[in-house]
């Protein structure tokens, strides 16, 4: 299998999960409308649209909550279709957390939707089942569900986006099986639907799919077609991958950006531009870690192994196998194990190479991965030839060529060229019609604007002048107050002694020739500095980002204090930590006080931090076993920290939806800080 892979995004990739995505502003807008609506039918429609956006964005952790809310409203208004949709979204919420329950619940509600010919429910459930079966390598079952879902949608249904996803996933199934003609045919059809729908996220997903497909056709390692064929497909792969990368930067989340960066890095690796390949693969690994995208990390580590020496290559391949296990993706494991076998063969360890190759061949046959079977046969041929065992070598070489001929032959390439030409012709026709429609619309708009523009301009200028004068004065006063507190807050964030001592501790590891540990802590320290600068200027950050900052800070403090304390961070399962946002950096100053004035002198210090939901607020409890505030509060340090936090609280309480509350209880056995913050979505 070549390095290029078809990622089912979005969404965030691609379906997108961050606030930078095209989907997030739409979701935020729907949430605002939901807050202002009192009509139950309207509220049900809005919740249905929010849940659909989360589903198409692969944000399954949010589906359960909205599915339950939709079901409650559907019962109140006695709407059966909304009830079926609610059950559908609740079933999809189990996609990544409980496969058995996912399949059971989804198949059950799919049966109900088909009995009542509820097309939207059929399409969504079939798309969910097909996508999950694809990742498990159950291709025929996946095709059956995906085809059922696509056929259920006709021209009268406003479900073009979902149909594009269904057909694109059909393309992915054929791609994994090495059926390139079918994969390209469905991929181009999905792209046409996405472009007609006009949703940039759908276009991004279709372009990402086509980029991976053309990339595999162009792969020198696969040796498919002639050199001229591969050069032409390489041009197509580069075009779609660059478009995907640009779209992901503009519309998508870190998840999608990581997927598109990986594909570009793989392409540059194939054409031996190693510096560019390393740049994009490093970006993919960074984003994969930030988003816990295990499938992306597996593929990115596997690609990186080709840029380093054999020993380091085996290290990266072991990382890739670990991430493939975390992603529960047997397909990625097959390709990675094959790469390990090739490294052993190149190091003249043919027995180990043969052992791994035969295991890979068994798995590739079970998963019906023709490309991987072909690559294994080629490696086994090379192994037997190196041993001068020509009879076995001829057997494996014949099997290799049989699969190669079945995957790509002259007839298939002719069909691929025909599909490509047809798609480009349709694209040009659509562009011409689009330009004509835009020109006519612009002329009409200009005529309408000329009638009222003069009066609107005069009135607008007058209003703007008055509003600017009013708001400029008020904003200036508020800004001065905010900057003054913010600057004091920033200066107080980290004691200079902490920074100095942390760097000395890292230097100690370097002097002890413990480079790996020093490198790890230096990376944590660098990330902590970047987080402090970034978050301290943000109005809101996610709960997950607040927790991540605390972990980095506590790990550095443990290094500085030579592991004389331990810490725990407990998070309420009801919290949606990737979505719910809070004012930043309220917790760190209290943790710093707990260390510096509570447990610093102890040999067995302990800090416990709890994040839990409390109505519509977040309760944070910070507990230490130090000597307490009464003994620790000297030289005014603790009071200064508390005073700065109080100033921030007073300012934010003027505009926040709920007041921030703080209480500190101290005794002989330590200090407990209880902080209550409002939660924003």
Q: What is the pLDDT of residue 6?
A: 36
Nearest of 22, 413, 433, 62 to residue 205 by alpha carbon: 22
**Residue 115 — very low, low, confident or very high, per pLDDT cuts 50/70/90?**
very high
Tell me how far apart the alpha carbons of residues 589 and 645 are, in angstroms, rounded to a whole number. 8
Is pLDDT above 50 for 76?
yes
Return all residues near 579 (Cβ < 8 A) that are at least 6 apart: 62, 542, 681
Q: What is the pLDDT of residue 515?
A: 75
Token readout for 28 is 């935020």
Q: Please, are residues 326 and 363 in contact by the beta-carbon 8 Å criterion?
A: no
Q: What is the pLDDT of residue 315?
A: 92
Q: What is the pLDDT of residue 121?
A: 92
Is pLDDT above 70 for 249?
yes
Residue 235 in domain: yes
**Residue 566 — very low, low, confident or very high, per pLDDT cuts 50/70/90?**
very high
Nearest of 179, 210, 171, 184 to residue 371 by alpha carbon: 179
The secondary structure of residue 616, as a DSSP letter, is: T
Token readout for 537 is 């200027």
Mapped onto helix, strand or coil, the DSSP state of residue 7 is coil
Answer with the one of 252, 282, 306 that is the final residue of a domain: 252
Is pLDDT above 70 for 679?
yes
Token readout for 540 is 């809101």
Q: Please, are residues 48 and 81 in contact by the beta-carbon 8 Å criterion?
A: no
Residue 281 in domain: no
Question: pLDDT averaged over the chain?
Answer: 80
- Top pLDDT among 438 and 77 is at 77
Q: What is the pLDDT of residue 166?
A: 92
Is pLDDT above 60 for 11?
no
Residue 178 in domain: yes
Q: What is the pLDDT of residue 14?
A: 36
Domain that holds residue 178: 159-252
Taking residue 594's Cβ as centre, other Cβ atoms within 10 Å add up to: 29
Looking at 31-45, 348-362, 395-409, 539-553, which range is the least confident one?
A: 395-409
The tens digit of pLDDT for each residue in 639-660 reads 456 666 777 787 777 766 678 8
Tell me how far apart the alpha carbons of residues 204 and 325 are, in angstroms, rounded to a whole number. 27
Q: What is the pLDDT of residue 437?
A: 59
Q: What is the pLDDT of residue 498?
A: 64
Ramachandran assignment for 580, one of left (phi > 0), alpha (psi -120 to 50 degrees), beta (any other): beta
Is pLDDT above 50 for 510?
yes
**14 prior amide bond cis, ω within 30:** yes
Residue 348 in domain: no
**Residue 269 — very low, low, confident or very high, per pLDDT cuts 50/70/90?**
confident
Token readout for 445 is 């708009």
Average pLDDT over residues 136-160: 88
Residue 442 in domain: no
Token readout for 390 is 């020509």
The secondary structure of residue 225, as a DSSP letter, is: S
Tell me how far apart the alpha carbons of residues 9 and 199 are, in angstroms, rounded to a whole number. 14
**Residue 4 — very low, low, confident or very high, per pLDDT cuts 50/70/90?**
very low
Q: What is the pLDDT of residue 449?
A: 66
**Residue 154 — very low, low, confident or very high, per pLDDT cuts 50/70/90?**
confident
Is pLDDT above 60 for 617?
yes
Which of 479-488, 537-546, 603-612 has the highest average model confidence (pLDDT)? 603-612
The packing angle between helices 63-77 and 80-92, to 10°, is 170
Mapped onto helix, strand or coil, the DSSP state of residue 656 is coil
Q: Please, are residues 629 and 671 in contact by the beta-carbon 8 Å criterion?
A: yes
Residue 190 in domain: yes
In total, how many domains does the chain have? 2
The DSSP result for 433-465, as a single string, is HHHHHHHHHHHHHHHHHHHHHHHHHHHHHHHHH
Tell me how far apart the alpha carbons of residues 637 and 598 are, in angstroms, rounded to a whole number. 12
Tell me how far apart the alpha carbons of residues 262 and 208 are, in angstroms, rounded to a whole number. 11
Place of tokens 């612009």: 442
Q: What is the pLDDT of residue 31?
A: 81
Ramachandran assignment for 198, one of left (phi > 0), alpha (psi -120 to 50 degrees), beta (any other): left
Handedness of CA 63, 64, 65, 68 (dihedral sign): positive
Is pLDDT above 80 for 613?
yes
Tell me the CATH number at 502.
3.30.565.10
The DSSP result for 118-163, as a single string, is -HHHHHHHHHHHHHHHHHTT-HHHHHHHHHHHHHH--TTSS-HHHH
Tell me how far apart the alpha carbons of residues 590 and 673 are, in angstroms, rounded to a whole number. 8
pTM over 0.75: no
Taking residue 604's Cβ as centre, other Cβ atoms within 10 Å add up to: 9
Q: Are strands 605-614 and 565-571 parallel, antiparallel or unpaired?
A: parallel
The tens digit of pLDDT for each residue in 443-464 reads 666 666 666 666 677 777 878 7
Answer with the one of 227, 252, 277 that is the final residue of a domain: 252
Looking at 350-354, 420-424, 458-462, which range is the least confident one?
A: 420-424
Return all residues near 247 (Cβ < 8 A) that are at least 6 apart: 200, 203, 204, 207, 260
The tens digit of pLDDT for each residue in 426-437 reads 555 555 555 555
Q: What is the pLDDT of residue 377?
A: 92
Q: Please, are residues 179 and 145 in contact by the beta-carbon 8 Å criterion?
A: no
Residue 395 in domain: no
Residue 383: CA count within 13 A, CB half-sphere:
25
Place of tokens 């969504």: 124
Looking at 9-18, 545-554, 603-612, which range is the least confident one?
A: 9-18
Return all residues near 259 (Cβ < 8 A) that are at least 6 apart: 7, 9, 13, 14, 208, 248, 284, 293, 296
Token readout for 282 is 């490093």
What are residue 390's phi and psi, to 5 degrees? -70, -30
Place of tokens 């079901």: 71
Is pLDDT above 80 for 469?
no
Is pLDDT above 70 for 81?
yes
Name 567's bridge partners.
607
How far CA 15 is from CA of 53, 106, 282, 548, 627, in Å, comes to 9, 20, 22, 23, 49
How far CA 496 is from CA of 517, 526, 528, in Å, comes to 23, 15, 14
Nearest of 135, 82, 261, 67 to residue 59 by alpha carbon: 67
Mapped onto helix, strand or coil, the DSSP state of residue 562 is coil
Average pLDDT over residues 623-634: 70
Q: Are strands 541-542 and 10-11 parallel, antiparallel or unpaired?
A: unpaired
Nearest of 539, 622, 613 to residue 576 by alpha carbon: 613
How far CA 663 is from CA of 11, 52, 590, 676, in Å, comes to 41, 41, 11, 9
Q: Which helix (H) or strand (E) holds 588?
A: helix 588-594
Residue 636 in domain: yes
Q: What is the pLDDT of residue 246?
A: 81
Tell me how far apart the alpha carbons of residues 636 and 597 are, in angstroms, rounded to a whole number. 11
Tell me how far apart the alpha carbons of residues 251 and 18 are, in angstroms, rounded to a whole number. 10
Q: Please, are residues 588 and 569 in contact by the beta-carbon 8 Å criterion?
A: no
Is pLDDT above 70 for 56?
yes
Is pLDDT above 60 for 491?
no
Is pLDDT above 50 for 318?
yes
Return all residues near 84 (Cβ < 8 A) that are at least 6 apart: 109, 112, 113, 116, 118, 121
Answer with the one of 229, 252, 275 that is the final residue of a domain: 252
Is pLDDT above 80 for 26?
no
Is pLDDT above 90 for 597?
no
Looking at 103-112, 379-388, 430-439, which range is the least confident one?
A: 430-439
The tens digit of pLDDT for each residue in 220-245 reads 666 566 677 777 887 888 888 888 78
Looking at 46-50, 111-115, 149-153, 476-480, which range is the least confident one?
A: 476-480
Tell me how far apart the alpha carbons of residues 92 and 66 are, in angstroms, rounded to a whole number. 12
Q: Where are the alpha helices (DSSP H) in 252-329?
A: 254-270, 274-291, 294-304, 310-327
Q: Are strands 670-678 and 661-667 parallel, antiparallel or unpaired?
A: antiparallel
Q: What is the pLDDT of residue 112?
A: 94
Place of tokens 């523009």: 453
Q: What is the pLDDT of residue 408?
A: 56
């Amino acid at each position: 299998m070549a390095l290029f892979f078809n990622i089912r995004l979005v969404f965030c990739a691609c379906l997108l999960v961050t606030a930078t995505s095209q989907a997030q502003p739409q979701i935020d807008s729907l949430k605002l409308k939901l807050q202002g609506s009192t009509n139950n039918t309207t509220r049900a429609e809005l919740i249905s649209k929010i849940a659909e956006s989360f589903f198409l964005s692969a944000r399954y952790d949010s589906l359960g909550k909205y599915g339950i809310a939709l079901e409650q409203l559907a019962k109140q208004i006695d709407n059966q279709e909304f009830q079926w949709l609610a059950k559908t979204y609740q079933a999809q919420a189990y996609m990544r957390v409980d496969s058995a329950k996912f399949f059971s619940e989804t198949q059950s509600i799919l049966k109900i939707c088909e009995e009542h010919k509820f097309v939207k429910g059929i399409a969504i459930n079939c798309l969910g089942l097909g996508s999950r079966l694809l990742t498990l390598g159950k291709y025929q079952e996946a095709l059956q569900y995906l085809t059922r879902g696509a056929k259920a949608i006709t021209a009268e249904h406003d479900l073009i986006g979902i149909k594009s996803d269904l057909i694109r996933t059909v393309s992915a199934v054929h791609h994994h099986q090495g059926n390139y003609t079918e994969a390209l045919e469905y991929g181009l059809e999905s792209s046409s639907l996405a472009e007609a729908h006009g949703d940039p996220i759908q276009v991004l997903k279709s372009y990402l799919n086509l980029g991976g497909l053309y990339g595999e056709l162009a792969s020198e390692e696969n040796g498919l077609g002639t050199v001229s064929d591969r050069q032409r497909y390489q041009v197509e792969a580069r075009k779609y991958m660059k478009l995907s990368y640009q779209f992901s930067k503009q519309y998508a989340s870190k998840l999608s950006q990581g997927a598109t960066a990986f594909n570009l890095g793989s392409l540059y690796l194939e054409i031996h531009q190693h510096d560019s390949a390393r740049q994009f693969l490093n970006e993919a690994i960074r984003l994969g870690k930030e988003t816990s995208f295990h499938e992306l990390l597996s593929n990115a580590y596997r690609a990186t192994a080709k840029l380093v020496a054999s020993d380091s290559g085996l290290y990266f391949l072991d990382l890739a196998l670990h991430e493939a296990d975390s992603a529960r993706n047997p397909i990625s494991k097959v390709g990675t194990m094959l790469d390990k076998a090739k490294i052993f063969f190149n190091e003249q360890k043919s027995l180990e190479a043969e052992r791994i190759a035969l295991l890979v061949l068994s798995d590739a046959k079970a998963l019906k991965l023709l490309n991987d079977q072909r690559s294994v046969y080629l490696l086994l041929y090379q192994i037997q030839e190196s041993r001068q065992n020509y009879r076995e070598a001829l057997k494996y070489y014949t099997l290799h060529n049989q699969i190669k001929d079945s995957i790509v032959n002259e007839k298939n390439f002719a069909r691929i060229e025909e599909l490509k030409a047809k798609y480009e012709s349709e694209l040009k026709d659509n562009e011409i019609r689009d330009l004509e429609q835009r020109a006519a619309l612009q002329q009409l708009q200009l005529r309408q604007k000329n009638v009222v523009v003069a009066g609107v301009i005069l009135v607008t200028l007058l209003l703007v002048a008055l509003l600017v004068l009013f708001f400029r004065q008020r904003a200036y006063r508020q800004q001065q107050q905010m900057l003054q507190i913010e600057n004091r807050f920033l200066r107080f964030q980290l004691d200079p002694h902490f920074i100095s001592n942390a760097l000395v501790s890292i230097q100690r590891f370097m002097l002890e020739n413990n480079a790996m540990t020093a490198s790890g802590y230096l990376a944590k320290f660098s990330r902590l500095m970047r987080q402090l600068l970034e978050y301290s200027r943000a109005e809101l950050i996610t709960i997950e980002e607040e927790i991540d900052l605390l972990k980095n800070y506590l790990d550095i403090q443990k290094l500085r204090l030579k592991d004389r304390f331990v810490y725990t961070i407990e998070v309420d399962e009801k919290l949606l930590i990737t979505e719910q946002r809070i004012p930043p950096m309220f917790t760190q100053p209290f943790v710093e006080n707990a260390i510096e004035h509570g447990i610093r002198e102890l040999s067995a210090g302990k800090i416990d931090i709890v994040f839990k939901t409390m109505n519509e607020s977040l309760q944070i409890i910070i507990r230490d076993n130090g000597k307490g505030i009464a003994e620790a509060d000297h030289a005014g340090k603790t009071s200064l920290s508390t005073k700065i936090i109080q100033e921030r609280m007073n300012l934010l309480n003027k505009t926040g939806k709920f007041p921030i509350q703080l209480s500190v209880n101290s005794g002989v056995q330590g200090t407990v800080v209880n902080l209550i913050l409002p939660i924003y979505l």
